[in-house]
Amino acid sequence: MTTLTLFATASIASADILIDEGFESYTGGAVSGWTREGDHDFSSVAGLDGTTAAVLLGSAGSDSSTALRNTFSSEGTITDTFTFAFDFQQLTTGNSSNSGDRIMNFTLRESGQSVVNWRVLWDGSANGTMQYYDGAWQNMATQNELINESDVYRVTLSGDLDASYSITVNNLTDSTVVGGQVGITGLQSGFTALNELRFERGRSAQDFIIDNVYLSNVPEPSAYALLAGLLALSWGMVRRRQ
């Protein structure tokens, strides 16, 4: 491989993996690399993908918020493009949720200010709707099935915060697509660099499990076009030398 090809490949590989957490060594209590907030009662449970461990977010009080926070600025920040994914399962334990209660909330933040803000909203009948906040709570555009208390789900967000991003939600238990949305603008305008991820168990809500958290500041699509051009150029140089 030519030096030019190596340079181009290295440029694409330079995207920072900010969080890559499977919680495999977690045994309960404090979560290494994460901060617990609120009236927390966290514990280790079997991993949602059949592996050793995952984190259960519960609350020691009857009406309290609990949060698990990761300040990833030491690994890098998100200034535009990003990919964020995690698995979760809603539980029947915890407080009995009423219609309109927030079950699970996940946010990407800049110095405590939410920029990307999503939640599962309980409907009072063992089901939840995915919603995002853009000044008011909005339902995810396409939701083929509601979030239930027995299945495992994977949430993936990806895009460019200078423009828009997308979300997809998959039911891993049934191997079905729950739904998604493209072209989300939310509250991105005016931020400089995202440096914090936060999962929160809403007040008066039920417990949930999180696992397999991944966050990166992926390169812009133009970088891939640059790589393709550089690879073509280097290939041409090799052919001429032959």
Candidates 122, 118, 117, 87; CA nearest to 102 is: 122
pLDDT at residue 7, as a whole number? 34
* Chain segment 137-163, per-residue pLDDT in tens: 999 999 999 999 889 999 999 999 988
- Highest average pLDDT, of 32-41, 62-71, 121-130, 162-171, comes from 162-171
Domain edges within the chain:
1-16+217-242, 19-216
pTM as predicted: 0.83
Of 25-29, 37-41, 84-88, 209-213, the poorest mean pLDDT is in: 37-41
Of 106-115, 149-158, 187-196, the poorest mean pLDDT is in: 187-196
CATH top-level class for 19-216? mainly beta
pLDDT at residue 16, as a whole number? 87
Q: In percent, how much of the chain has pLDDT > 90?
A: 52
